[in-house]
Structure formats: structure tokens, C-alpha cells
Amino acid sequence: MANRHLSRSIVMQSLFEWDFYGGKSKIGAILDRDISEFGPGLEDGGFAKKMAEGVVKRKEEIDGIIEKAAPDWPIAQIAPVDRNVLRIGLYELLFGNHKEVPQKVAINEAIELAKTFGGDSSGRFVNGVLGTVYRELGEPGKDGKGKKHYELDLAKLPKEDLGGAVVIRRDGKEILFALVHDVFGYWTFSKGHLNKNEDVEKGTVRKTKEEIGLKNLNIIKKIGENEYIASDPETGPTRRHVNFFLAETKDKELKLESSGGLDDVRWFTLDEVRGLKMYSDIKPILESALKELGLTT
């Protein structure tokens, strides 16, 4: 894995140079030189070569996807580092071997490259673009026929039970909401898998406390359920059924559990929450919580 990470770093630097000179140089020659300088003895040079040449070959296609995912940012206006990190991330996300490099790993690796070589906001920008693409495609690499097949056979898909919580904290007359940010660029409510035969409420409390670092959490009321199809790199499409609860804590500090799927957790006022980028199926859960709290307008 360390070799793969180094390979991606070298590919990014090679693509940066190739891009800087308008794509007039041969990417293979640039890559060979950079490997000899930055990764002498690299055991997985074939991985780097395949990636660099693949990005260059599919540049127009990849750039077109970037433009659709980030319409406010024409390709030429995106910082060179961010632009080439996105190309690497999208190449792995869309055209890579997902058995060797799962989609979430590809996204996380791209985010790390952006943080290492880019500016202060590069990680979040790359996160947002790749997350948008992943969300829109549902399952990278699957054609329309494949998606339709899964829709027709929902009852046959494996099912997982999760517990989720809209966590609130009262600060005087104001109510604050705890939300987590995922690698796909969305703010959502904490949720997690329940243990086999675990009580749903107890499991939700356990998982929520673990995920966002709470010492105390009390369930107020169940406020809804939702179900979505997740693309698991190992098992494929999976139905995930989530029972959501309204819960309250007095803890002020939030601390995110180490996770490849989440990168931030914060308290928000209601006005701030309404302005966040959230999944469409989460918004009804929020509205149910607000109704229970008497905050609907």
C-alpha cells in the first residue's frame, strides 16, 4: 500500500509537469525520470505507468466529467495541483480495478494527495467533486442496464440494519445540531451498523457515542426510517435500513472517530443546518426532528 501511495504521488507530479507544458511532452519520459528521482527501486512502477498513461489517454473524457461535477470551475481555472489530483481520482474511481482499489480508497487517496500538494481548501474541493461523481453514478463502472437490474431485484439484495440519530444540545434558548461530514461532500446525521440481535435504541446510542465522541446521550423519540442502496466494494449493492431517533446530549465537545468515510463533525444552529449540502433522503428526517421539537415554521 505504501508503494501505491508513493506511485500516486509521483504520477501527480508527472502529470503536473505534463500539464504545465500543455501536454506536449511524453508522459512516459516524465514519469520515468520522476520515478528515478523520487522513487528509486519502486516495486510497483507498473501501477504508476498504467495510471499516468490512462489519465492522459482519457483526459478529455475525465475533464468533461469534472466540468459537469464542478460547473462553477472551468478546467482552466482549477489550480493545476487540484486539476491533476482530480484526474487521478476520477481515473481510479471510474476506470480502475475496484477489487484492488475500492472506490472509497480511491477517493481518500486523492484527498490525501490534495492535502499534501495543494492549498488549504484543496482537500475539500477534491472531496466534493469526487463525492458528487460517485453519488451521481451510484456504482462507477455499471451501465444503465446493471442499475435497472438491481432496482428490479431489491428484495434479493442483502440487507443491513443501522441506527441513526439527530443529536441536539440546548444552549440557552437555542438548539444546536450535531452533523458529520462524509468523503462525498455531504453533511448528514451520525449512523452506524447494529450488532446482531442488538436492541435498536441501545445500539443507536452506542454507535452514535462512539462515532462522534459523546459521553452521554439520551433517546427522546423515534422520528423516522429510511433505506438506501449502498455500493459495497466487497459484496456489491446492499440495502441499508436506518432507524432514526431524536437524541439529546449535554456534551459540548465532539470528537470524530477515526473513519475513512467521515472527515468532520460540528455543532450547527438551525439556520446553519438549513444551508448545508445534505442528502435528499435525510431532509425528511430533519423535518421530523424539527416537528418534534416544535421548530417547524
Same domain, 48 and 75: yes
Same domain, 17 and 103: yes
How confident is the model over 218-265, as pLDDT tens digits?
Answer: 999 999 998 876 654 445 566 788 999 999 999 999 998 865 567 789
Residue recorded with cell 488549504: 120
Same domain, 78 and 119: yes
Which residue range is the domain that position 257 belongs to?
154-293
Secondary structure of residue 245 in the 3-state scheme: strand
Among 155, 170, 127, CA closest to 261: 127
Number of domains composing the chain:
2
Lowest mean pLDDT among 89-93, 163-167, 216-220: 89-93
Q: Of the residues 116, 141, 166, which one is the last residue of a structural domain?
A: 141
Same domain, 88 and 12: yes
Structural domain includes residue 201: yes
Among 90, 256, 109, CA closest to 187: 256
Q: Of the residues 141, 170, 192, which one is the last residue of a structural domain?
A: 141
Among 32, 2, 3, 7, CA closest to 18: 32
**pLDDT-above-70 percentage for the chain:** 85
Among 236, 242, 243, CA closest to 157: 236
Residue recorded with cell 525520470: 33
Task: Supply the CATH number for residue 26's domain.
Answer: 1.10.940.10
How confident is the model over 137-161, as pLDDT tens digits?
Answer: 554 333 333 333 333 355 666 778 8
Q: Is the whole-model pTM more than 0.75?
A: no
Structural domain includes residue 147: no
Helix axes 59-69, 122-137, angle to 10 degrees: 100
